[in-house]
A and B are shown apart, each in its own frame.
Chain A
Amino acid sequence: MSLAEKKQETMARHPFIAQFIDHSNSRDADGLPQWWSESRTDALQRLVTLDVPGPKDEEWKFLNLKSLYNATYLSEGAAATEADEAFVKERSIPEAKAATLVFSNGRFKPAASNVDGLGEGVRVTSWSELREAGDLDAVRDHVGIADFWEDDLFYNLNGANFEDGAVILVPRETVVEVPIHLLYVSDGSGERFAAHPRNVIVAGENAEVTVIEEYATSVDGEYFHNVVDEISLGANAEVRHVKVQRDSKEAQHVARNIITLESNSNYEATAVNLGAAFSRNDSYARFDGSSIECTLDGLVYIGGTQVSDTHTAIDHALPDSTSYQLQKVIVDDRAHSIFNGKIFVREDAQRIDSNQLNQNLLLSRRARVNTKPQLEIFADDVVCSHGATVGQLQDDQLFYLMTRGMDEERARSLLTYAFAAEVLEDIEVDSLRTRLEGLLMEQTTRN
């Protein structure tokens, strides 16, 4: 069957996929380096063979994605807007003043961005800017690095369509002193659109950098963010990555994060998921060396009819590494959270220390949680702990607080806040941590 015929067939089966094949085909291929057009073609070829994942697939259990699949989307290029200046200002992070990349409906906005004096050789830029400058080869070696997602629909949708996103390259022996803020602002007032950001973060040997990746909405609406992050850490590198997902509660957010780690590197991620009608946040950490430290923490706080799904895989292939994972989830109203955390300890991965804990707090009787910590150990000399809890606010704690004069609402909010705050404690960017704590406090009081 020719590609065109296959596309016809896909079209009939899955208009959802077919429209993104169309989007891809209508993208400007002018001056695209060969490696990029090849990777686009690869993605397209895989797309025509793929199905949309659904409840029958192990990794997509519990989900009803009809509203995602049945919608039609404009390509982000057709939904271009300027970033709302006041909004960008409100969301700006003072510490990152000299390192802010602003995207509006998926497109880089140089005028709203600011990158200044980050040190020699440090590049904080975007795909569109690199393309304009004819400098795409700078990023070439750092994309398409994990075949883990090869058969994943969303990864390939992104592969066939991405045109923009952040590119952060920190050369060896270089410490970026200020945090870098990626601010994705979406304006949902127009027709429904889909954007496919591709963020590349590379820290060379002994390099250090902090990245804040934030999704925010200036005007609520239905849109679809389909993100891929490719993160590589060289030997002894240190990357702190905070993701804040506050997309519109009518929007859909899917993200694939690939992290590859070389010996002695340290990756510390905190993913805060508050927004979107449906969010799916997956991370795959591949240990390509020994003595690595990797932390994948997360906080999910959802209500209404929101659905949030986090899948992580930590793949210990070599010895002497440590991984930590604390996933805290608060579910209110009729919201639904899913967590699946895989930890592989391969045969050669001796002396691994791996901790995983998923704690869920149900604030309403109709709230729903599915959790599956999953440990697969093939080595014998390892220390692993994993577990999950699902609970409600404790009556004896509420009573105790109330005997000290706090009314029930106040007591509930304090306990809810206390449950979640632990995840935010480790965020080192003060203004961001304070802001998130404030947001959390606000949300616990509103409920």
Chain B
Amino acid sequence: MLLEVKDLHVRAGDEPILKGVNLEVNAGEVHAIMGPNGSGKSTLAKVLAGHPAYEVTSGSLHFEGDDLSELDTDERARAGLFLAFQYPVEIPGVSNAQFMRQAYNERRKAQGKDELDPLQFDDHIRERMKIVDMDPKFLDRSVNVDFSGGEKKRNEILQMAVLEPTLAVLDETDSGLDIDALRTVAGGINSLSGEDNAVVLVTHYQRILDYVKPDYVHVMTDGQIVKSGDKQLAIDLEEHGYDWVTEEQGAA
């Protein structure tokens, strides 16, 4: 199993946010997590990445059998866990190329492979940029600075393409993408996922699921995954809204 989340409770300060999340992800699978605003989807994503603002109060997180609570954010990343941010961070003064090369080499080192020098990396990244149809001019620009919303999202998937993670958690990568960009980005995600890795998509729209076909769809409300199903669940949600799930919950 790649990821195992068991009865996860998480607080930010005194505020309980996740209230018993269970999730299992195996290699080769695509999961979608949907749910209303503020239900805790991004919190789950950030907790997986080890964000310092959140405290795990009970439950457990395992990645490829390793207890994640023992790994720092950077160690998780080097171990093959990737988070595409809902709001990618701007880093003035660090060029996209420099940033990606550092990240790439950190991962290579962890895998016991040779690092690439700037020239070698340049060839490599230009190749990867084709996957998300990104203009090489973005290499010289500061990371995410003055990128449009859609360009930032593309840049996240480019990082995924460069780092080739075992588990990619993509937090609303589809939000803010125009129709063509959505198709490109979805194509990128598909070409990067295979037998040995898995993708968790956090999304509000069933649209992306037409391109990236999920094996499982989960609904999160108020810090819990309250319903899981297959792709049909996303279609039902689109039609009936989240109230339908909560009502069903209440009825059950």
Establish whether residues B52 and A399, one from each chain, have CB atoms under 8 Å apart when the complex forms.
yes
Decide: A404 near B103, CB < 8 A? Known: A415-B91, A418-B93. yes
Contact with A along B61-93 (1 / 0, CB 8 A): 000000000001110111000110100110111
How far, in angstroms, from A415 to B99 measured CA to CA in the complex?
11
* B31 CB–A CB distance under 8 Å: no
Which residues on A sit within 8 Å (CB–CB) of B83? 403
Q: Could you say which residues of chain A place their CB within 8 Å of the CB of B49?
A: 399, 403
Instruction: Assess whether A388 is interfacial by the CB under 8 Å rule.
Output: no
A436 within 8 A of B: no
The distance in angstroms between the C-alpha atoms of A406 and B110, with both chains bound, is 11
Contact check, B91 vs A406: say whether CB atoms are below 8 A apart: no
Please state if A404 and B163 are interface contacts (CB–CB under 8 Å).
yes
Determine whether B166 belongs to the interface, using a CB cutoff of 8 Å to chain A. Answer: no
The listed residue (B52, B72, B102) touching A410 by CB distance below 8 A is B102
Which 3 pairs between the two chains have the least Cβ-Cβ distance?
A418-B93, A405-B106, A404-B103
Interface size of A by CB at 8 A reads 22
Is the Cβ of B74 less than 8 Å from the Cβ of A421? no
CA distance A395 to B52 in the complex (A): 9
Residues on B with beta carbons closer than 8 Å to the beta carbon of A421: 93
Closest to A416 in B: B93
Give the docked Cα–Cα distance between A417 and B142 (Å).
13
Q: Is B224's CB within 8 Å of the partner chain A?
A: no
Q: Among B52, B77, B85, B93, which residue has its beta carbon within 8 angstroms of that of A405?
A: B77
* B103 in contact with A406 (CB, 8 Å): yes
When the two chains form the complex, which single residue of A397, A402, A408, A410 contacts B91, counting CB atoms closer than 8 Å? A397
Task: Judge whether A418 and B74 touch: CB under 8 Å.
Answer: no
Chain A, residue nearest B95 (CB): A418
B78: which A residues are within 8 A, CB to CB?
405
A-B contact pairs, 19 of them (CB 8 A): A399-B49, A399-B73, A400-B85, A402-B50, A403-B77, A403-B83, A404-B102, A404-B106, A404-B159, A405-B103, A406-B106, A407-B72, A414-B102, A415-B91, A415-B94, A418-B93, A418-B94, A421-B93, A422-B93
Given contacts A404-B163, A407-B74, contact A397 B102 (CB under 8 A): no
A116 within 8 Å of B by Cβ? Answer: no
Q: Which single member of A402, A415, A418 contacts B73 (CB below 8 Å)? A: A402
Secondary structure dominating the interface of A: helix
CA distance A319 to B82 in the complex (A): 56
Partner of A404, one of B50, B99, B142: B99
* Contact partners of A404 in chain B: CB under 8 A: 77, 99, 102-103, 106, 159, 163
**Chain A, Cβ-Cβ closest to B78:** A405
Point out the residues of chain B lying under 8 angstroms from A395, CB to CB. Answer: 52
Task: Provide the B40-60 mask, 1 if CB < 8 A to any CB of A, else 0.
Answer: 000000000111100000000
Given A399-B52, A400-B85, A414-B102, the answer on whether A406 and B93 have CB atoms closer than 8 Å is no
Query: Is A396 in the interface zone, CB < 8 Å from B?
Result: yes
A406: chain B residues at CB < 8 Å are 74, 102-103, 106
Which residues in B have their C-beta under 8 angstroms from that of A402? Answer: 50, 72-74, 77
Asked whether A405 lies within 8 Å of B91 as measured between CB atoms, the reply is no
A-B pair count, CB < 8 Å, reads 67
Bound form: Cα–Cα A414–B51 in Å: 19
A146 within 8 A of B: no
Query: Shortest beta-carbon distance, A106 to chain B, in Å?
Result: 37
A403 to B169, CA, bound (A): 12
Is residue A149 contacting chain B, with contact meaning CB distance below 8 A? no
B153 within 8 A of A: no
Chain B, Cβ-Cβ closest to A405: B106
B73 adjacent to A403 (CB under 8 Å):
yes
- Does B107 lie at the interface of the complex (its beta carbon under 8 Å from any beta carbon of A)? yes
Q: Which residue of B lies closest to A404 (CB)?
A: B103
C-alpha spacing A419/B94, complex, angstroms: 9
| A400 and B89 contacting across the interface, CB-CB below 8 Å | yes
Q: Which residues of B contact A130 (CB under 8 A)?
A: none
CB distance from A38 to the nearest CB of B (A): 51
Contact flags A397-435 to B (C-beta < 8 A → 1, else 0): 101111111111011001101110110000000000000
- Contact: B102 with A418, CB < 8 Å? no
**Least CB distance, A279 to chain B, in whole angstroms:** 24
Taking A403-B83, A419-B93 as known contacts, 6 extra A-B pairs with beta carbons closer than 8 A to each other, sorted by chain A number, are A397-B89, A402-B72, A403-B73, A404-B77, A408-B74, A422-B93
Chain B 128-165: CB-based contact to A (< 8 A → 1; otherwise 0): 00000000000000100000000000000001000100
The distance in angstroms between the C-alpha atoms of A398 and B50, with both chains bound, is: 12
Chain B residues contacting A417 (CB-CB under 8 Å) are 93
- Choose from B72, B92, B159 the contact partner of A418 (Cβ within 8 Å): B92
Residues of B within 8 Å of A419, CB to CB, are 93
Within 8 A of B (CB), among A220-265: none
- Chain B residue at smallest Cβ distance from A414: B94
The docked-state distance in angstroms from the alpha carbon of A17 to that of B83 is 63
The smallest C-beta distance from B133 to any residue of chain A, in angstroms, reads 22
Nearest CB of chain B from residue A201's CB, rounded to whole Å: 31
| Least Cβ–Cβ distance between A412 and chain B, in angstroms | 12
CB distance from B206 to the nearest CB of A (A): 27
Query: Are the C-beta atoms of B110 and A405 separated by less than 8 Å?
Result: yes
